[in-house]
Structure 1
Amino acid sequence: MTEHTAQLSNRGGWWRLYVVLIGVPVSQWPEHDFGPTPAVPTVPQRSGVLAALGFVFTDGAEWEWTEYSETPDDDTSPVRLLATARVLSRDGAAP
């Protein structure tokens, strides 16, 4: 079974969850916008969206958070957050 990376990102107050599919154009990646909200979508909300998109977590998968600058090498640049988790398609095949 092929593992994929689910990512949760925020830009302009909009949280977006998507699954990275290697070899597939970005425009075809499964995704969900949570809409404008200051709150980070909860783990159950994220899990529900992943299930609706046809994915499940790999055994022992947890969300890992990374902080990065919007403009690399500029310490005054806004900080962005990116969460990642390892997932599989629900039927075990690559979507």
Structure 2
Amino acid sequence: MEALFTAQMSVRRGRWRLYVVLMNTTERWPEYEFGPVVPTFTDRVNALSVLGFEPLPDARWEWTEDTETHDDPSSPVILIAAIGVRSWTGAVA
């Protein structure tokens, strides 16, 4: 049975980063930093492959928003994207 994960992307301090959520572990989550421009779909897929993952077939990026300071309606909005991923079978160990 293949392991399934969630990859998320968000912007912090003007820089976009993509990371794969690893539950029930103390390992550092795989992470890729893009910089100040919004990564294209191709940029995101390439970053996932560098981290050893690929999007699940027919998976789509889902966007949601959060706030920097909870319970403060004037807080800046944080955009978070998520997609289901699996370990990339062509990844080099």
Establish whether TM, by shorter chain, passes 0.5.
yes
For residues 58 and 71 of structure 2, the distance between their equivalents in structure 1, rounded to whole angstroms, comes to 34
Q: Counterpart in 1 of 2:81?
A: 83
For the aligned residues, what is the CA RMSD? 1.5
Q: Counterpart in 2 of 1:30?
A: 30
Counterpart pick for 1:68 among 50, 66, 69: 66
Deviation at 1:52, TM superposition (A): 1.1
Query: What is the percent sequence identity of the aligned residues?
Result: 48
Deviation at 1:24, TM superposition (A): 2.1
For residues 23 and 17 of structure 2, the distance between their equivalents in structure 1, rounded to whole angstroms, comes to 19
Residue type of the alignment partner of 2:40:
T
**Stretches of structure 2 lacking an aligned partner (at least 5 in a row):** none
Q: TM-score, normalised by structure 2?
A: 0.88
Equivalences, count: 89
Q: TM-score, normalised by structure 1?
A: 0.87
